[in-house]
Amino acid sequence: MKSVAFPYELDACGRTAVADDANHIRDLIYQVLFTSPGERVMRPTFGSGLLQLTFAPNSPELAATIQFLAQGALQQWLGGLIIVEAVDVVADDATLRVTVQYLVRQTAIREVQTFVQGATP
């Protein structure tokens, strides 16, 4: 099945770009991780709130909090599509790097993806 690519773009023919199932799930994970609650009009609780914690003082407690927030949001919003096995979050200055290990329920394929938000050198 084909889905609209995220972020929205046009393909070489000028039509809406599409993504296959694996890329669509990756796009959905990115949206959950980097959308702040209250950002979506019809879904005010959608998202994880990770971006709000990017500039908080670094500590082991904050790292654990961010990991639990990310894992909980992924399970809540994408639990029907994936099984979240591990989440690792690294906040480095203005860059937030999240690595997610998950199992796609439909295909039973294990994936490990890294998502980056913020300034990158």
pTM over 0.85: no
Q: Which pLDDT belongs to residue 119?
A: 60
For residues 12-25, give the mean pLDDT: 87
Other beta carbons within 10 Å of 74:
23
CA angle 95, 96, 97 (to 5 degrees): 115
- The pLDDT tens digits for 65-91 are 888 989 999 999 999 999 999 999 887
**CATH numbers and ranges of domains, the chain:** 3-118 (3.10.450.40)
Type and span of the H or E element at 120:
none
DSSP string, 53-83: GTTSPP-HHHHHHHHHHHHHHHHHHHTTTEE
Cis peptide bond N-terminal to 7, omega within 30: yes
